[in-house]
Structure formats: C-alpha cells, structure tokens
Structure 1
C-alpha cells in the first residue's frame, strides 16, 4: 500500500511522498486513513450546514471537525488507532446530525455525495482509504487540485488555532461555519478556477480572524507577552519537557506539578510560554531546553525526564527515550502513552507523567545563558515611540519579517547566514520555530531595541501583522507595502500555510518563501501568486540581500 501526501515542505523530491513511509515517518496506512478522516468530515459538514441554518448546531460538532483536521497536520499523529477512532467518531456524529434533521423534517431532499452516505465499519477503513475518490488525487485537473490543496491545508492550520482557542473557551461560530463551507467547496466541481482563487483569499481572511481569536484567548487568559530573558541552562531537579503549542495544557501541568519537586521546561514552539505573566509565578517553571523540533532525537536523550507533546512536531523517536514520551490532544504515536482529553468542566490528569518524572534524573546541561523574547504586538506598541524615532533618524533602515517554521534540510542554513549578514541598521521580526536559526546569535541592539524581536509561536505571526498595520497608521501610509518591511519566510507545515494566506489577504506583497516553494503549487497557480502577489522563492543569501537592500 502506498500513499500520496504533498502537504509539507519535505515532500519527496518536492512532488509528494508516494511510498510506504513518508519523509516525516508517517506510514502509508496512517496517511490514507487521514485522507479518509477528512473525507468523512466533509460528510459531517454536509449535514451540519443544514443544522446550523436551522439553529441546531452543537458545539461538540465544531470540536470534532477542528480536532479531526488538526490531527492530520504534519508530525501531529502517527497512530492508525487514533485516526481510526476519530473516523468512527466523525461517522457517528455525521449520522446523528442526519437523523436529527430527518426527525425534524429538515433534511434537504437531494442526492448526497459518497462522503455523506458511506457507512463502513472499522474493518473497512483501510480498504476505503485507498479508494480513488477519497484522497487529493481524486481531483484530476492539476490547477484545481493545487487550489483545493491550498484551501485544505489552510483549513488544517486554521483548525489548530481554533482548537487552542476553544480549549480556553473562546470560539467563533463564523470561523466554524466557514470551515464547513470550505470543506464542501473543495468538493464542488461547479466552482471555476477564479472561484477557487477567491476561496483561497477568503481562507486567508478567516486565517486572520482565527489568529486574532487565539491572540485574544491567550492574552485574556494569561496576560500580554512581555520582554523576558529565558534561562536555557538546567537545575538539579527531575523535570518534564513540554513541546507543542497548547497553553491550556501547559497551565494545567504547571498547576499539577507545583510543590512536587518536579521542574517544567519548554521545548521548541512552547518557548513563548516563558513570555506570559501568568506563568511566571510558578517557581518550578525554569526555562527552555533545546532548540527546534527537528533536533529532538538528540535533545530528548539528554533531557533524561519525560516529554509531553501537546501538539504536532513529533519525530519518530529513538528507542533510548521512547518509553518516556507522552502525547495529548490531537497528537499520537504508536507506543507513546496518551493523556486523555479533559472531561467537561474538569482538568486533564497529568499525574502519570509527574510520577514518571520523579523516578528519573535531572536534565543534562547542553548549553547555558539566556535568550530574549516576548515582543508581541502589545510589547512592541509600548516601544513604538523608540521604534518610530529610530526609523525617522535612520538608525533603523528596514525590518525583516523572518517568521515561520524550521526544518531538517541543510539548505535552511540560509536563514542563519541571512540573519548574520543583515546590516546593523536592520531589525528582525520573528515568530514560530524559524527563530531557532538565529535567536542565539549575538545580533546586538539599536538604541536599546534588540535586533531580533520574537513575537512568539507561529500563530503569533498575527502580532507581526498588527505591528505592521500600526506602523502604517503611525506613518500615515496608504499601503502596507510602503513600509520599510521585507518578508523572508520559512515554511514547513500547514500552520505556515494559513499564515501565508492571511498575509496575502492583508495585501502583503513580494514575500520570499523557502527553502522551497510548496509541492502542491502547480506551475499555473504559482504563476498566479507571482503575478498578483510577487511571491518568489529564495536564491542565495547574497542575491536576496542585494535585492532587498536595493528596494
């Protein structure tokens, strides 16, 4: 059995993984089951759109759709059992909504597509998952397939952010409704290429909305991120390392580890938890351990304690530490212990991982010192007068948005070199794990303003958009592209896709995207992005730097 998956930057030969095991380590069985899960979620959307119009939508339906999409993001869930459970749940929800509509006499009388009617059992899932109509290759036209992929992968990123917000009891019915409408639209053969291009931009619009919602959820719950020096050494206590993005999970773990003698460290995309005021009261929250997600196979060995994945960024583990990795939420991996979702009105139970930590030695130190972050929009707004003055006096000539994802390819060394070679009168605005390519470089400051301003996680790219819009207002400009801001973005997975679509919706042009352009962009769709938005791939540091500084 083989698969076809082209959703991440590491897609085989920059075409797509069509082998037994993908580059990320996902098996073809899991990849195909994930395709089937999305297929059935379209069936849930089919009936829930009717229920929603009648005012009968149930909150659990929104969670099922968002969690299902989230579990198919690259490096989130490698467990066929976990994905099969979600397929069963989606089938049950789809059929329950349909039955409710029938009982109320509200079911529309029309022919329904296969994803709304297929009624297989668990034993049928693998066979159905390789049905030609289930996966992305069911769309034969390359350009239509490319645009549908852009929307679908944007929806996956959107779902991740929506679920984080939902965990903090923040929700938007408009975003939920759009998610369903878009899932159905990418199955609608009556839509033209122009219609699909408009749908891509509409996806970007809701990408802005969902990141604004999550920003509100995070800052209302934990305060605005503030400039913070983060410890990157270790203490001599047993500890738990937390990776991923979910701040609610992080909060509940901190609460439950308090007074136990177990320290808590962040890893990779959880680093920005250090910037939130609400978490600073916990004395056992010590700092950050390690670097970007792809280095975990060496860093988890030396950490010695258990690791908790709250979201994606799992790499198939070494045997030496596999028995001390835990997953929760949308994540899963065969053999990893899974911490169940919180019951209604209750907290997750992290007692198993806490007791595990107590039996293990303290982390081995791999570096010392501190790194600085916490420059989300509220903190930067407080520095606005200094920044504006630095721009007006010429102390700051340009800002470079270098947000996005890190990854394993050696070509990503480009971003470290680019940061090192930037002129001293430039400032980097960053968010996401791309920062690990340069956040420990001695870049210095300009009149007390650090030359690298880290806004936080990938979803905090919203902060960078808010900062740009604020500067546009301060300088009384008509177009965001008139600002002295350049965009040199790195991408890896689908949350970066929704960030890109959000920037396009906001009208940002001339974005460089690397280390490769997405495999799911057909030549014609890539040309549309080039012609209308000026998107281009990276070349060499010298060529790109010269082009940027000449503008």
Structure 2
C-alpha cells in the first residue's frame, strides 16, 4: 500500500485508494497532503495558545483554511505546490510558536516548559523529508482503533468542506474568527486521545459550523453580486473567440469578465461555474454568453472539443489530456504539473 485516501465518493471499491487515486492523484501527492494536514495541526496548537493570550489569529486561520482547501479532491495534483505549502506551513507554525513563547515569558516571567504534540515541533525542508514523515503520520497510522480513526478523519473531511466555503468568502472580504477558532480546536483535538463521545461532539459541531460558514459565503456572494435569479441560460456558442471558466470562485469570474470586456472575446461557464449565470452583477456583461458543456467529469471530452483557453478556479480539475493541456490555466489553489498557473 503506497497511499491511503478515502475522502470522496470516487474512492476505489468504496473503501479507499491505496495505489493511485481514482481522481488521478498519485501516491506522492496524497502522502504530501497527509503531511500538510499534520503540519496544520501544529499551527493550530500554537495558534490556540496565542489566542488564549489575546493575539489576533487571523493569519493562522487563513492559512489553515487555504491548506485544508488545497487537499480537497480534484484541486491540486502538483507535488511541488504541496511541498511548498508544507514549507510555508512550517514557517508559519514556527512564527506562531515564537510569538507565543515570547508573550508567555513576558506575561509570566517564566519559560514555557510543557510538552507539545510532535506536529507542533517536527521539522523538514525537502520533499524527501516530507515523504519520510508521511510514513509516520498517514491516516492509517493515527490509531489502531477503527472507530476513533473514522471519527477523526470524518472531522478532518468536514473541515475541508468548511474551508472551501471560508476561502470563497474570504476572497470577497468576508471572514469570521469563530470559524478559524473551530478549525484550530478541531485539528488540535485530532492530536489527542479523546473519548468517542467527545470526538462525535466535534463532528456534530462541524456540521453546525459548516452551515454557519455556508451562510457567510451566501452573504458574501449576494451582497457582492446580488441575489441569484431564475435565469434561462444560453447553451449555444457564438463565432467569437472564447474562454471557458470552471470552478466556484466568483471573484475570478468577475476579474475575467472585467479583463475581457471590449476585447471581442466571449466567456462561457462550465460545470461548477454554471450558477454565475444567475447573479445580476454578471448579466451586465454582453460578452458573457452562457454555459458550455455539462458536468465536471466530462472535461476530457468537452475541453478537448472547446477550442479556446480554459481557466480552472477551484476544485473539479480532471487530469488534462495532452491534446488540450496547453490550453488549460489554473489559479488560486488549483494546480497540475505542466499546466500554466496564474498567481492571485
């Protein structure tokens, strides 16, 4: 078994992917993601200690949200991207540690001597370091108790979903510290040997926080772009050059429409970006033509047939065929080796 991932409905035999993800993710990427999650737990430990001393934890919460989102299925397949995030996570974790140690000493007059979990202190710098660490921290190594392990991973998978909502709200200028605090408390709890009842309480709480964060995202979207309207969506094409955009990030949609306005280039949505057609703010763009194609899993056929550039803004990227790979662009957390990435 070179990997273990069971976070989505695509998983092999409804049990778990152990050689390569059905989504296309290889074992190296999967193992690096395990290490990224592990390091986010370390950030959470020090972040909470800073919170208890009155420090602002937004910088930690934002990165945790970004890190969790990156590990969602069909977001990134790029090993170097994940490795770089681990390095960044270690830097942020160590900054949080130093911030706490300094404040603790100033407040108490003593040095902090408590033992902390390994996720808060381990270190590494190369991809090989991270892959070696993955053998110690992968999902199956956390505990032999299957019930506890399942609750622990169910919580983490729930956090990933919350992070997706939180990330999309944040790019529009909306965030809630209580979501970040829950991320930290929940991730910290996965480093502890808790009773099953306590673990279940965290899972149930994740459901509530998920609804609250979804409401935050709805507020962000509707206050920025208006309330979605029942809309007849054009599914035809015009003769102009066109760009296809997929994913969930409405801010990327807005920026693409602004940058292409008046250029003679049409814009079409695909898959998850279909709802953009319903927002009043986007209806003012006469070069926003409508929706092209069908569901995300038909990319290999529909992207091949589409003759223009394709922009992937969030999850639901399928490993592209060589026949159209050079026309695919990623942005945000999305990544694939050899595909051009547009920084935020």
Name the TM-score, length of structure 1 as normaliser.
0.60
Determine helix, strand or coil for the equivalent of 1:229.
Answer: coil
Q: Within 5 A, what are the aligned runs for 1:417-428?
A: none
**Aligned-pair CA distance for 1:60:** 2.7
Aligned position for 2:292 = 289
1:272 aligns with 2:278: no
Aligned position for 2:201 = 198
1:155 aligns with 2:154: no
Q: Quick check: 2:226–2:281 contact (8 Å CA) kept in 1?
A: yes
Determine helix, strand or coil for the equivalent of 1:226.
Answer: coil
**Aligned-pair CA distance for 1:28:** 0.3
Structure-1 separation of matches of 2:135 and 2:307: 44
1:44 aligns with 2:48: no
Q: How many residues align?
A: 339
Structure-1 separation of matches of 2:140 and 2:312: 28
**Aligned-pair CA distance for 1:54:** 2.1
Q: Quick check: 2:245–2:310 contact (8 Å CA) kept in 1?
A: yes
**Aligned-pair CA distance for 1:36:** 0.2
Name the TM-score, length of structure 2 as normaliser.
0.96
Q: Within 5 A, what are the aligned runs for 1:487-526?
A: none
1:251 aligns with 2:254: yes
**Aligned-pair CA distance for 1:136:** 4.4
Determine helix, strand or coil for the equivalent of 1:111.
Answer: coil
Alpha-carbon deviations, 1:22-69, whole Å to 9, x = none?
111101000000000000010011101111222223433222111110
Q: Within 5 A, what are the aligned runs for 1:303-342?
A: 303-341=306-344
Determine helix, strand or coil for the equivalent of 1:178.
Answer: helix
Aligned position for 1:75 = 74
1:16 aligns with 2:16: yes
**Aligned-pair CA distance for 1:334:** 0.4
**Aligned-pair CA distance for 1:176:** 0.7
**Aligned-pair CA distance for 1:98:** 0.8
Structure-2 separation of matches of 1:254 and 1:128: 44
Q: Within 5 A, what are the aligned runs for 1:340-489?
A: 340-341=343-344
Q: Unaligned stretches of 5+ in structure 2?
A: 106-110
Structure-1 separation of matches of 2:56 and 2:112: 16
Determine helix, strand or coil for the equivalent of 2:329.
Answer: strand
Aligned position for 2:56 = 57
Structure-1 separation of matches of 2:286 and 2:21: 41
Decide which of 186, 191, 194 is 1:187's aligned counterpart: 191
Aligned position for 1:298 = 301
1:240 aligns with 2:219: no
Determine helix, strand or coil for the equivalent of 2:252.
Answer: helix
**Aligned-pair CA distance for 1:138:** 2.0
Rg larger in structure: 1
Alpha-carbon deviations, 1:292-341, whole Å to 9, x = none?
10000000011111111100101111111000101111110001111112
Q: Unaligned stretches of 5+ in structure 1?
A: 342-551
Q: Within 5 A, what are the aligned runs for 1:120-135?
A: 120-135=124-139
Structure-2 separation of matches of 1:213 and 1:52: 22
Decide which of 151, 166, 170 is 2:170's aligned counterpart: 166
Structure-1 separation of matches of 2:327 and 2:129: 31
Q: Quick check: 1:84–1:125 contact (8 Å CA) kept in 2?
A: no
**Aligned-pair CA distance for 1:129:** 3.8
Q: Quick check: 1:30–1:83 contact (8 Å CA) kept in 2?
A: yes
Aligned position for 1:142 = 146
The verdict on how the C-alpha distance between 1:4 and 1:163 changes in structure 2, with shifts beyond 3 A counting, is same
Structure-1 separation of matches of 2:290 and 2:316: 19
1:31 aligns with 2:30: yes
Structure-2 separation of matches of 1:137 and 1:297: 36
Alpha-carbon deviations, 1:343-373, whole Å to 9, x = none?
xxxxxxxxxxxxxxxxxxxxxxxxxxxxxxx
**Aligned-pair CA distance for 1:123:** 4.3
The verdict on how the C-alpha distance between 1:303 and 1:128 changes in structure 2, with shifts beyond 3 A counting, is same
Aligned position for 2:108 = none
Structure-1 separation of matches of 2:145 and 2:170: 36
Q: Quick check: 1:48–1:57 contact (8 Å CA) kept in 2?
A: no
Q: Quick check: 2:36–2:82 contact (8 Å CA) kept in 1?
A: yes
Aligned position for 2:91 = 92
Q: Which moved more, 1:211-220 or 1:4-13?
A: 4-13
Determine helix, strand or coil for the equivalent of 2:174.
Answer: coil
**Aligned-pair CA distance for 1:139:** 2.1
Structure-2 separation of matches of 1:173 and 1:138: 29
Aligned position for 1:261 = 264
Structure-1 separation of matches of 2:245 and 2:198: 42
Let me know the Cα RMSD of the aligned residues. 1.3
